[in-house]
Amino acid sequence: MSDLKNTIKIFHGPQHPGITGNMSVELDLLGETIKRAQTHVGYLHRGFEKLIERRTVVQAFTIVCRICVPEPDPNEENFARAVENLTGLEISDKAKYIRTMVLEMQRLATMFLWMGGQAGSIGLGLIPQWSICDRDYMLDLFEELTGGRVYHMYAFPGGVRRDLPNGFIDKLSELLDYYEKRIAVYNDTFFDNAIFKKRAMGIGVVKADEVLKNAYIGQVMRGCGIKKDVRKDMPYLVYDRLDFEIPIQQEGDVYARALVRRDEMLQSIRILRQIIKQMPKEGEILQKIPKHRKFKLPANDTYVQTESARGAMSYYMAGDGSEKIRRMQVRGPSLIHAYTLLEKLLVNAQLADVAMIMNSLGICPPEIER
Amino acid sequence: MAIDIKGVLAPLGAIGTLFKHPKTVTYPEVKKDIPIGYRGFHINNLETCIGCASCEEICMNDAIDMIHPDKEYNPKNTSGCVPRIDYGRCCWCSLCTDVCPPGSLKLDNICIHADKDPDNFLYMPKNLKNIGENK
Amino acid sequence: MDLAAKLKKLSLTLEQKNNYLYKVVVKSEQLESLLLSFINEFDYITLDSINCRDDLEDGVFTITYCLQNRNRDHIVMIQTSIERENATLPTMHILWPQAEIMEREMHEMFGVNFPGHPSLIDFALEYWNDIPPMRRDFDTLEYVNKMNPFRGQRDDALDAKEEMKKRREAKKAAKLKAEQEAAAKEAQKVKTNTSEEVQR
């Protein structure tokens, strides 16, 4: 290719402050402009899909949460819902409300982590210090509820594993008031900051007419003006009883996606306040299921989708009549964003913007290669 | 070109945090309260353990072994064995405590341990009755 | 629904799993034309994922293409089966650019070939020289035991069921012995009684 004649090849290596995992991009540079980019993964391959084929349903539920490191709860929810679809289990209202509450709490915690990454990748070191501290208060609540800070192992097929502790709802309300004040401070320091606007507007533009065909999902889709969300189109748990909106922007660049995420944080706080009001006091926490060697899955397959903080995550699960799971395949939102979209967006971009673009697409390497 | 005055001046409000109390917990002088129910190290009440090996059978990492204890604590122990856990493999999922029939195996809320020897990872759960007694 | 009637003309049945999920099973020769008709006639324009399942007992791979419609409120699973030996499928990367990375992963993990694909190189494993690892005849436990040395400090582990059996048999033997001794003592007592009576 004559384009690549005088270029230098560098490795934008697996250790980088702007991303939440290990992934590298091989770049061909002419000066500081990128002429070609190739993604390489493989640093985090742990072989989950093969591990799950040897284990029964109860044993596999404990390792599913480790597939995506910054955001474990949509994985547990998908697994529980797929098993319930295959075996026909029904869960009680209270369990549905608790699972929805846990999903929205996880969405808030992940958005704070994203904000730290996005600001850190352009050199604004103040925001990661603040946002990791604010995320820690949410992890303290998770520690009380589930017994673990990051890996909860809480949403079980048939309900949830433990009941709400005493005084939990009041602590959650206080934390939501605190977060609303903090988001106003982040608006002043980060989202309205002249430096961030100058660096982020017009970079990494995604065109709206190729989004649906190429399956770009999450904030990439909503930053281009397409108003779609799994919680509204194919509602699951109790989302059809709650009142919330889907924020969109029109430009499709890095700044538009950041504004969409900030508005989604405010909508999450609104959803959590409604759940606190509507939560039923009585209800069965966990349905009775047979012992773990006798819990057999029928010879059928199913496909479930959940809206995570970065887009729609899907699971394909198949059983074969025995107590072991025949096949479980994970399709996270980052696989397509990291390969098809990133390699296209980086052509004719500047070297200093690579980390910012990677972080704004919401790429999480652990779920690309499981 | 219009200058974005709000965008230039508003971030300077962050200087005010220099004069506020820091949020960092000064460990180890101040220790944080870990709630009861946190999944920490194991404890096993040897007077009620019946040696049924349900915990060994459900552990999905093959981390539990059944061995003879130093003396007999429970005459009703059907196999004469008690569990010992390999902390290099345990993932603290607490399936073993959920399935224990007499309820003798539990997870305490301590979680801090340091050792210079890398081969010292086999852990015998302490013989206690309740969570929170271990200090 | 329109979809079920149109598929009946092509002699295919549409199975409805719940209120947003459908499934169609098709032979591998008709796969490409069915995918094209789903895009053009029924407006299912998004390819969400390509999933592969190894059915070792029947000697086939079961491949599922999951498509989603423009309104994003229905999903259809299009399923087909291909032979395990020399598995080949037509490549879809011209219709959907995201199929390129999904087919690359399937080639590495299962060994399926896609003629005309631009980049069938390694995805997550480097310098792999064994059979494709997601196939069901690849034993991961044996591979791990072959390649890794273990710190052997757990050799004093006992099998609980064996111990229970040993204890039960020991108890039975002890009981039997105690009964025999008691019977022997009884016999001894009877003998001394009768000998005393005889003496009198």
- pLDDT digits 0-9 by tens, A315-367: 999 988 888 888 999 998 888 898 888 888 988 889 888 888 888 888 888 88
- Two tokens, residue B65: 């072994």
Q: Looking at beta carbons, which residues of chain A come within 8 Å of B10?
A: 188-189, 192-193
Q: What is the pLDDT of residues A189-204, one digit of tens each?
A: 888 888 888 888 888 8
CB-based contact, B47 to chain C, within 8 Å: no
Report the gap between the CA of A208 and the closest CA in chain B (Å).
29
Q: Which of B76, B83, B79, B73 is nearest to B47 (CA)?
A: B73
Please give the average per-residue pLDDT across A222-244, as a whole number.
89
Inter-chain touch A188–B92, beta carbons under 8 Å: no
- Two tokens, residue C122: 């390694």
Per the document, the length of chain A is: 370
Q: Using the predicted structure, report yes or no on whether residue A1 has a pLDDT greater than 60.
A: no
CB-CB contact of A144 with B35 (8 Å): yes
Beta bridge partners of A286: A159
Beta bridge partners of C77: C23, C66
Report the gap between the CA of B33 and the closest CA in chain C (Å).
35
Task: Work out the mean pLDDT of chain A and round it to a whole number.
Answer: 88
Q: What is the pLDDT of residues A132-182, one digit of tens each?
A: 999 999 999 999 998 888 998 899 888 898 888 888 999 999 999 999 999
Range of lowest pLDDT (A85-99, B35-49, C80-94, C154-168): C154-168
Q: Looking at beta carbons, which residues of chain A come within 8 Å of B39?
A: 147-148
Inter-chain touch B51–C160, beta carbons under 8 Å: yes
Q: Looking at beta carbons, which residues of chain C come within 8 Å of B122?
A: 153-154
Structure confidence at residue A265 as a pLDDT band (50, 70, 90): very high
Q: Using the predicted structure, report yes or no on whether residue B47 has a pLDDT greater than 70.
A: yes
Closest partner residue to A331 (CB to CB) among C20, C48, C70 is: C48
Per the document, the length of chain B is: 135
Q: Using the predicted structure, report yes or no on whether residue A250 has a pLDDT greater than 70.
A: yes
Q: Which of A248, A128, A250, A268 is nearest to A189 (CA)?
A: A128
Could you tell me the domains of chain B? 34-123 (3.30.70.3270)
CB-based contact, B37 to chain A, within 8 Å: yes
Range of lowest pLDDT (A125-129, A273-277, A335-339, B28-32): B28-32
Residue A62 phi, psi dihedral angles, 5° rounding: -80, -20
Report the gap between the CA of A144 and the closest CA in chain B (Å).
6
Inter-chain touch B7–A144, beta carbons under 8 Å: no
Q: Using the predicted structure, report yes or no on whether residue A79 has a pLDDT greater than 70.
A: yes
Report the gap between the CA of A126 and the closest CA in chain B (Å).
9
C86: helix, coil or strand? coil
Q: Which residues of A109-130 are buried (b: 16+ CB within 10 A; e: fewer)?
A: bbbbbbbbbbbbbbebeebbeb
Q: Where are the alpha helices (DSSP H) in chain A?
A: 48-52, 57-60, 73-87, 93-121, 126-146, 168-186, 194-200, 219-222, 230-233, 254-278, 334-336, 342-345, 354-360, 366-369
CB-CB contact of A327 with A335 (8 Å): no
Strands (E), C26-169: 46-55, 60-68, 75-83
Domain limits, chain A? 2-369
Residue located via tokens 């939501």: A176
Q: Using the predicted structure, report yes or no on whether residue A19 has a pLDDT greater than 70.
A: no
Structure confidence at residue A97 as a pLDDT band (50, 70, 90): very high
The pLDDT score that the predictor gives to residue B135 is 52
Q: Please tell me which residue of chain B has the smallest CA distance to C164.
A: B79
CB-CB contact of C109 with C83 (8 Å): no
The pLDDT score that the predictor gives to residue B118 is 76
Range of lowest pLDDT (A54-58, A145-149, C66-70, C193-197): C193-197
C80 or A17, higher pLDDT: C80
Q: Is 0.95 exceeded by the ipTM?
A: no
Residue C73 phi, psi dihedral angles, 5° rounding: -125, 10
- A2-369 classified as CATH 1.10.645.10: yes
Those of residues 67-96 in C touching chain A at CB distance below 8 A are: 68, 70-73, 75, 77, 96
Q: Using the predicted structure, report yes or no on whether residue C199 has a pLDDT greater than 80.
A: no
Report the gap between the CA of A199 and the closest CA in chain C (Å).
29
**Residue C47 and residue C39: Cα distance in Å, rounded?**
10
Strands (E), chain B: 42-44, 64-67, 82-86, 105-107, 122-123
- Which of A153, A168, A201 best tests the B interface by mutation, with the highest count of B CBs <10 A? A153
CA distances from residue C162 to A166, B44, B79, B131 in whole angstroms, order as listed: 45, 22, 8, 32
Q: Using the predicted structure, report yes or no on whether residue A263 has a pLDDT greater than 90.
A: yes
Structure confidence at residue A20 as a pLDDT band (50, 70, 90): low
Antiparallel, parallel or unpaired: β A325-331 and A311-319? antiparallel
Domain limits, chain C? 2-147, 165-195
Q: In what order do the strands lie in the sheet with A301-308?
A: A301-308, A311-319, A325-331
CB-CB contact of C93 with C100 (8 Å): yes
DSSP summary character for residue A25: E
Q: Using the predicted structure, report yes or no on whether residue C194 has a pLDDT greater than 80.
A: no
Over pLDDT 90: what percentage of chain B?
Answer: 0
C121: helix, coil or strand? coil
Q: Is the dihedral of CA C114, C119, C123, C125 positive or negative?
A: positive
Report the gap between the CA of B57 and the closest CA in chain C (Å).
10
- Two tokens, residue A341: 């979209």
CATH topology of domain C2-147: Beta Polymerase; domain 2 (3.30.460)
Those of residues 67-86 in B touching chain A at CB distance below 8 A are: none
Closest partner residue to B119 (CB to CB) among C153, C160, C161 is: C153
Q: Looking at beta carbons, which residues of chain B come within 8 Å of C157?
A: 65-67
Inter-chain touch C164–B65, beta carbons under 8 Å: no
